[in-house]
Amino acid sequence: MRIVFAGTPDFAVPCLRAAAQRGEVVAVYTQPDRPAGRGRELTPSPVKREALLRGIPVLQPENFRSAESKAALRALKPDLMVVVAYGLILPQSVLDIPAHGCWNVHASLLPRWRGAAPIQRAIEAGDAETGVCLMQMEKGLDTGPVLLSQVLPIGASDTGGQLHDRLAELGARVLADGLGLLRAGIRPVARPQPAEGVTYAHKLDKAEAKLDWARPAAELANRVRAFNPWPMAEAVVAGERLRLHGAVALDEAPAVAPGTLLRAGRDGLDVACGEGVLRIRVLQRDGGKAITAADYLNGRPDLRSA
């Protein structure tokens, strides 16, 4: 087969490796290099770095609106285009170019969590499981029929980063299964997504990271997990702004205002919420690194209550 791969972030790298195992990837599309770091130097995407290591030609158009960009793709004579977190909307005129169309690896059990941030939204919502779908792409946002899928449980302590890594590897395995079938002349059966159960995983916004103590503790604990490592939940505790790396909800009913620090000990900082109590176990001060609550209290002996 002649495969064209389109992807940009770390999540897409395992899928690129799976697609390129037999030397079938004839080109890689990825987002243009972007400024990054303190020096704001142009930095290639993780997918571009992997492609260059493998000697695969890289194309980085701003979009596919021009006739030239479509002609360049057509000239590659792709049998299949595999798209994983590419970051560009592909028009129907592009989806129609490969002989077998375009496949997308999506990190949710569609139709739940269509959109940009399915991993974090699943944790934030308290879902017990998620997974990966290999989907035949069509013009709508993650609306195409599902070819293959695999379920993955969400652990009670899973962070967004941990779940991201497990789903990236699972996505590569699901993609490899689909490619194996296609090589054998078996096209995976395309099953339309049900109309019921559609939810949208809207893009993460840094403003969401500021926790509102009036919300239930269970909801805030899920946000802390979901937003680790980015945008990282933050809150004011005892007059100091902290970034929260790890927290759990306690089933208590304190008779004080939300945001009140109830206890501060080696097990954590217990803060009253609209419902229940949030125990902060791992945190970060401005300009510091992530530390345990016990280490934090070494520098804040005024807060110790246990």
pLDDT of residue 306: 47
- pLDDT in the model for residue 294: 94
Which residue spans of the chain are classified as CATH 3.10.25.10?
A: 206-303
For the annotated binding site for (6S)-5,6,7,8-tetrahydrofolate, the residues are: 108-111
Contact 243, 232 (CB under 8 A): yes
Percentage of the chain modeled with pLDDT above 90: 94
Distance CA 129, CA 197 (A): 14
CA angle, 264 then 154 then 280, to 5°: 10
pLDDT in tens, 213-266: 999 999 999 999 999 999 999 999 999 999 999 999 999 999 999 999 999 999
Domain limits, CATH 3.40.50.170, in the chain: 3-201
CA distance 144 to 15: 19
Whether the CB-CB separation of 225 and 159 falls below 8 Å is answered with yes
| Binding-site residue ranges | 108-111
CATH topology of domain 3-201: Rossmann fold (3.40.50)
* pLDDT tens-digit readout, 43-69: 999 999 999 999 999 999 999 989 999
| The domain made up of 206-303 is a member of CATH 3.10.25.10 | yes
The mean pLDDT of 160-164, rounded to a whole number, is 98
Binned at pLDDT 50, 70 and 90, residue 288 comes out as: very high
What pLDDT does residue 4 have? 98
